[in-house]
Chain A
Amino acid sequence: MNEIVIKKNLAPDVWLMGIFSPQVAKKAKPGQFVILRVVEKGERIPLTIADFDREKGIVYIIFQVVGKTTAILATLNEKDSIEDFVGPLGMPYEHNPDDKSYLFIAGGLGIPAIFSKVKMLYSEGKKIDIIIGGRSKENIFFEDELKKYCDNLYISTNDGSYGKKGFVTDVLKDLLESGKRYDEVFAVGPILMMKAVVDITRQYNIKTLVSLNPIMVDGTGMCGGCRVLVGNEVKFACVDGPIFNGFDVDFESLIKRNSYYQDIEKEAFEKHKCKIGLGD
């Protein structure tokens, strides 16, 4: 169970893994996520289902090494197994069948979160534009895979080493200013990026969905740790989301909540690096 059948490096510190989990693959839908626990003493962390293969029973995840748990996960190899792998969790992505044109905007690790949605919509004959962005050329991945499922793919890098110099929102502004219109914009990535997107699309009154990433524990609605404020109502992102209408989301409180454990998690990561001899 939960055997790693594929492992690939996509970018510095970014890994793709195919996990053998027929039960999750069988039910997975675009927009959902899994919760996994790498080792017995590990924590439960959520990762988006980037793609799935029902026949082979494989679920694909893409993750970036940002702390201790993702670092441990990255040390596993093909044929190793993950302790626990639960899902699919959260509400699947739903779209209005009448909508015809979509713009997907993904920053950094948001890219995996758009892949399966883009694939699904493209197969339904929708018009799809995509903007992906990262710090530098080496942080842009999945470009070829995405190209297969869209009409236009735009790229931005902060340092200008690839595509347009700047942020994904700069590309967004250009597109909208040049008169491009979409029935729906879907943004996923760092919280500040999603907020910046919403601040722009609101002016044009274009429906905008975002996929939120609050800190989770169980992922089944029993702890309330993932609560977010949406339209002045408290929602549990793991069961009510993670996708919400971007215009209604209170990003400020989400940013603060997501930073809560940062200091002690960082400390634990440093200690871990020392122990395995990576530290300086």
Chain B
Amino acid sequence: MDAFKRVPVQEQSPDERIKNFDEVCLGYSEDEAILEAQRCLQCKNAPCVKGCPVEVKIPEFISLIRERKFKEGYFKILETNLLPAICGRVCPQETQCEQNCVRGIKGEPIAIGKLERFVADWFRQNCEFEFELPEPNNRKVAIIGSGPAGLSCASGLAKLGYKVTVFEAFHKLGGVLYYGIPEFRLPKEVVEWEIENLKKMGVEFRINMVFGKTFDLNDLKDEDFEAVFISSGAGLPSFLNIEGELLNGIYSANEFLTRINLMKAYKFPEYDTPIKLGKKVGVIGGGNVAMDAARVARRLGAEVYILYRRTEAEMPARKEEIMHAKEEGIEIIELVSPVRFIGDENGHVKALELVKMQLTEPDKSGRCGVKPIEGSNFVFEADNFIVAIGQSPNPLVKKAIPELELNPNGSIKVDQNLMTNIEGVFAGGDIVTGAATVILAMAMGKKAAQSIDNYLKMKNKERK
């Protein structure tokens, strides 16, 4: 075995996988995981750990894998990361834990994410989740939104004996993990398993509850909730605000992915939600959302082009997913920026006018800017376009709590304990950071659980 190279992980071949929605990466077998774990140098100062936003005890869990103590490995990760099966799959490891791995200096870094996922999957397949309920303290906390921030806050509080209720606007739980990230990257079964465990821990879930519409802070007070954690995510899709954006055939990535993931439109008419996609599709953007939308479109049989303002090197999407997209035959057109959509006589889009861009000198942060090349406009024809240029916090929450202080970009302002300007109301995840990552959202949920516990204990003392 070459100690500088990773143990390769089994994947569905590109030809095969573009015909289904099954998971692309099949994960390590026990023996493969052990082989990969053996490459770890068990560094004393473990720089990998510093790259992880929640400081997973990486050398420790890897060492347990070597000893075939997979269950113990799982619990080792769980000490700091509530959702290893999910983070192992979707974390941007290449810029976090794995970027710091000493093995990466001369060879390939340890596949930390893949190992993390391995132990979590192994546990899910071989063990029952058991949980000793703590002494209940009969104090109620409400959580708004069931994405990773909400789920981890719920878990943290349930472990401390709180009575937790999670309120979710949709009819399915998991937030972006359910309706955003597609099945072929994160099977819904994994998300559902985590939620079942939370239920076993006594967490109550109420679906179809829209904060600001179905209920508000006063209703929560009436139900004796003593603290609230707002984790409603960054759900508002940005549009380009250019001519022709109302033409038929132009989807926001949110709409496209919601139809597919939440509503299973790819199974229409077995499922009732329709989706229409022509032969050629242009996806605008360069982040994870754009990659997911493009790869879904590919699986629906389209020829797919990603249209991006900068170059591939600047794309914010995970490298692994850019590679997967390219393997699947998706073409990236760099350095182009949308000018206007062009429609046919029926009000359906038929093309997008683009202008070519050029990189400018790097700024102080080292990132290159772009500017349009005058007169370089050209027309790119396609049957559909998917706009994936970002999303911002949904204003529903603010409308429901007018006195809530926001940052200039519309995200909720919090102090170092994640409390908002309203006493007892905390916030975390994308609604605070703007669109970020699963692991950051999870870390904030965990921190909020701690802050809420401190806050309620103090409140108790004051009362006495």
Q: What residues make up the interface of A, taking CB atoms closer than 8 Å to B?
A: 23-24, 27, 37, 41-44, 68-69, 83-89, 217-218, 220-225, 227-229, 234, 239, 250, 252-253, 256-257, 260-261, 264-265, 267-268, 271-272
Contacts and interface: CB of A to CB of B under 8 A. Distances in A.
A217 B263 contact: yes
B213 to A, nearest CB: 6
Contacts of A224: 237, 239, 252, 254-255
Interface in B217-249: 235-237, 239, 241, 245-249
Given A27-B213, A220-B235, A257-B248, A86 B169 contact: yes
Contact of B394 (A221, A234, A265): A221
B258 A217 contact: yes
Q: How large is the interface on B (under 10, 10 to 19, 20 to 34, 35 or more residues)?
A: 35 or more
A223 B254 contact: yes
B245 A221 contact: no
Determine chain A's interface SS by DSSP, over half rule: mixed
B340 to A, nearest CB: 14
Nearest to B257: A223
12 contacts: A42-B272, A44-B273, A68-B272, A86-B169, A86-B171, A218-B258, A222-B258, A225-B255, A229-B246, A239-B396, A264-B269, A265-B274
A256 B169 CA distance: 29
Interface of B: 169-171, 207-210, 213-215, 235-237, 239, 241, 245-249, 251-252, 254-255, 258-259, 263-264, 268-274, 276, 346-347, 394-396
Nearest to A253: B246
B246 A234 contact: yes
Given A220-B235, A220-B396, A41 B264 contact: yes
Given A222-B254, A225-B255, 12 more contacts: A23-B215, A27-B214, A27-B215, A37-B171, A42-B271, A218-B258, A220-B210, A220-B396, A223-B254, A224-B254, A239-B395, A260-B248
A46 to B, nearest CB: 13
B255 A223 contact: yes
B252 A223 contact: yes
Contacts of A272: 269
Contact of A222 (B208, B236, B270): B236
A220 B394 contact: yes
Closest 8 A/B residue pairs (Cβ): A256-B347, A268-B269, A223-B255, A222-B235, A43-B272, A43-B273, A224-B252, A261-B274
Given A234-B245, A234-B246, A253-B246, A87 B396 contact: no
Contacts of A89: 210, 213
A59 to B, nearest CB: 12
A239 to B, nearest CB: 7
Nearest to B347: A256
Nearest to B256: A223
A88 B213 CA distance: 6
Nearest to A23: B214
Nearest to A221: B394
Given A43-B263, A220-B235, A88 B214 contact: yes
B151 to A, nearest CB: 19
A44 B208 CA distance: 12
Nearest to B208: A86
A41 B262 CA distance: 10
A97 to B, nearest CB: 21
Contact of A221 (B208, B246, B396): B396
Contacts of B259: 217
